[in-house]
């Protein structure tokens, strides 16, 4: 591949080290990418509220494709450019379908919002996070599902995410898109056709870059479409087998600056 004209990277397990931070080596190569006039785009399952710290460590102020492609966030302007949302009716229908095949699921939703907005995450009282985060205000199910949302989170700590995904896909019939970014009993559901690839396609078009000139990095099933879409998809050695199978190349793990290892060929 010639020098990429656009770089896209997942965040957790990819750009970030095992200490959940951007290493010096990775930050240095990101700076060289930007100095060469090449856009560097974050493509993450994270909502916009979790992006500014990472962007600051990496020296980024451009676009971030958030919520697995459901939100395009302009970091520097602190602005939601667009969002693809599930309606309350869709949310209730999906939850009914999930409950028909899995017992004891609890639910949360990511709402459209900038990092400073007060209400961006809503969850049932019994919902628990699979990652460290502050407490949330528990609501009833009707209240949780009562607003348009960019992502529905279904949680069952007694199952793996892969087990949940296989069961739920049997009843969703492709009407919405399901993926996961951790295997700790959490699946993420969005509008049909919304993936990191669809979000990045919009960003690439804004910069006039064709997919064959994009390099993308990822590690989990929610990166698969992006890795296939990009001209050169790179999976992390620490990644899920589905990501590795979708990639053109497997680099080192995030603990060894796998993203930097590849980008240093050109920058």
Q: Which residues of 8-33 are buried (b: 16+ CB within 10 A; e: fewer)?
A: bbbbbbbbbbeeeebbeebbbbbeeb
Structure tokens at 260: 């930097």
CATH 3.30.1240.10 intervals, the chain: 88-191
Q: What is the mean pLDDT of residues 33-50?
A: 96
Per-residue model confidence as pLDDT tens digits over 129-166 = 776 655 556 789 999 999 999 999 999 999 999 999 99
Q: At what angle do helices 88-99 and 161-172 cross, to 10 degrees?
A: 110
The predicted structure's pLDDT at residue 33: 98
Structure tokens at 109: 């939703």
Q: Report whether pLDDT(116) > 70.
A: no
Helix (H) or strand (E) holding 79: strand 79-83
Per-residue model confidence as pLDDT tens digits over 195-216 = 999 999 999 999 999 999 999 9
The residue count for the chain = 267
The predicted structure's pLDDT at residue 129: 79
* Most distant pair of Cα atoms in the chain: their distance: 53
94 phi/psi in degrees, rounded to 5: -65, -45
Per cent of the chain over pLDDT 70 is 96
Measure the CA–CA gap between 125 and 144, rounded to whole angstroms: 9
- Confirm if 201 and 218 have CB atoms less than 8 A apart: no
CATH 3.40.50.1000 intervals, the chain: 6-83+194-263
- Confirm if 186 and 130 have CB atoms less than 8 A apart: yes
pTM: 0.92
Measure the CA–CA gap between 108 and 160, rounded to whole angstroms: 17
The dotted CATH code for 6-83+194-263 is 3.40.50.1000
Considering the segment(s) 88-191 as one domain, its CATH architecture is: 2-Layer Sandwich (3.30)
- Confirm if 232 and 248 have CB atoms less than 8 A apart: yes
Per-residue model confidence as pLDDT tens digits over 227-253 = 999 999 999 999 999 999 999 999 999
Per cent of the chain over pLDDT 90 is 87
109 phi/psi in degrees, rounded to 5: -135, 145
Measure the CA–CA gap between 121 and 83, rounded to whole angstroms: 15
* Beta pairing, strands 63-66 & 214-218: unpaired
Range scoring the smallest mean pLDDT among 15-19, 172-176, 212-216: 172-176
Task: Look up residue 41 and give its DSSP letter.
Answer: E
């Amino acid at each position: 591949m010639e020098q990429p004209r656009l770089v896209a990277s997942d965040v957790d397990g990819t750009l970030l080290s095992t200490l959940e931070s951007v290493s010096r080596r990775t930050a240095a190569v990101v700076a060289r990418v930007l100095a060469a006039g090449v856009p560097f785009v974050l493509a993450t399952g994270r909502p916009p509220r979790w992006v500014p710290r990472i962007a600051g460590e990496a020296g980024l102020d451009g676009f971030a494709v958030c919520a697995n492609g459901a939100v395009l966030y302009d970091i520097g302007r602190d602005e939601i450019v667009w969002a693809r949302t599930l309606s309350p009716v869709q949310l209730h229908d999906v939850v009914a379908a999930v409950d028909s095949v899995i017992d004891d699921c609890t639910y949360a939703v990511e709402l459209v919002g900038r990092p400073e907005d007060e209400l961006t995450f809503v969850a049932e009282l019994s919902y628990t996070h699979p990652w460290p985060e502050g407490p949330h205000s528990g609501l009833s199910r009707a209240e949780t599902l009562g607003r348009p949302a960019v992502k529905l989170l279904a949680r069952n700590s007694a199952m793996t995410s892969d087990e949940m995904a296989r069961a739920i896909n049997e009843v969703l019939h492709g009407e919405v898109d399901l993926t996961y970014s951790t295997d700790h009993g959490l699946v993420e559901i969005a509008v049909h056709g919304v993936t990191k690839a669809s979000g990045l396609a919009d960003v690439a078009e804004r910069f006039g870059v064709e997919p064959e000139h994009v390099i993308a990095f990822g590690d989990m099933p929610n990166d698969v479409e992006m890795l296939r879409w990009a001209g050169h998809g790179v999976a992390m050695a620490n990644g899920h087998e589905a990501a590795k199978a979708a990639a053109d190349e497997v680099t080192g793990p995030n603990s060894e600056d796998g993203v930097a290892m590849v980008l240093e060929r050109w920058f």
